[in-house]
């Protein structure tokens, strides 16, 4: 996998240009190339940077941070928590949908594809952008965290207020990268069935997001869910 002049095809190419020229990133891409050649890995190679391609730097108003991609077949699509339409909803996404319906009265969808959230300004970023099949965290500590930490730092420097959504202890460990008080941090337990009943349900993150966007004169996020047959 070679570093292209245009890796993301939007303004992230400018903001991340220096980072993608660093030796560690070149080494990272070579490692990923070998991993995809030697093992079944997710997401599909052409979707590794899907979050950046769908949500430009300029359009990023919200960052929802995940840890690493789904490691079962047919799930990972380069967007944290999202799965392609027609795929069985993972338990954490089921709980996100339950809270969304409770919070904003948005009816639960049969599709787990969150592409419309991404296009509305939500950067659905995993800290680790790839994984081996059935081996969670198998691509940790090969360089992805260095890269995505830099993404958070760049968003922290943004003049327009950004909302950082940190669910779970791993995501909350990145809070130290968010130092500008113009931004808004929403932190809570992870929506996984293991922890959702310890404070995720009833936390109303989606209405908090749009209330802050309204307060800062920004366009609200369209959290509407599209079913398999909707566009």
Q: Which entry of 13, 37, 46, 68 is annotated as an active-site residue? A: 68
Contact 209, 222 (CB under 8 A): no
CA 100/CA 83 separation, integer angstroms: 17
Q: Is 68 a catalytic residue?
A: yes
Q: Which residues contact 3 (CB under 8 A, 6 or more apart)?
A: 20, 21, 25, 26, 29
CA 145/CA 86 separation, integer angstroms: 30
Contact 53, 21 (CB under 8 A): no
Contact 175, 185 (CB under 8 A): yes
Catalogue the active-site residues: 68
């Amino acid at each position: 996998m070679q570093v292209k002049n245009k890796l993301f095809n939007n303004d992230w190419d400018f903001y991340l240009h220096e980072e993608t020229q660093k030796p560690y990133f070149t080494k990272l891409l070579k490692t990923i190339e070998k991993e995809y050649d030697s093992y079944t890995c997710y997401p599909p190679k052409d979707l590794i940077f899907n979050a950046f391609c769908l949500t430009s730097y300029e359009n990023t108003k919200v960052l929802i941070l995940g840890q690493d991609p789904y490691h079962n077949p047919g799930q990972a699509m380069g967007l944290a928590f999202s799965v392609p339409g027609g795929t069985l909803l993972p338990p954490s996404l089921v709980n996100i949908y339950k809270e969304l319906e409770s919070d904003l009265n948005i009816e639960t969808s049969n599709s787990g594809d969150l592409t419309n959230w991404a296009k509305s300004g939500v950067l659905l970023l995993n800290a680790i952008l790839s994984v081996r099949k059935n081996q969670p965290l198998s691509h940790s500590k090969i360089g992805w965290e260095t890269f995505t930490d830099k993404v958070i730092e760049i968003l922290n420097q943004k003049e327009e207020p950004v909302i950082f959504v940190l669910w779970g202890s791993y995501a909350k460990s990145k809070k130290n990268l968010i130092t500008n008080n113009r931004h808004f941090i929403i932190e809570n337990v992870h929506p996984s069935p293991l922890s959702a009943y310890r404070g995720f349900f009833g936390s109303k993150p989606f209405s908090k997001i749009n209330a802050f966007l309204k307060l800062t004169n920004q366009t609200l996020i369209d959290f509407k869910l599209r079913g398999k047959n909707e566009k």
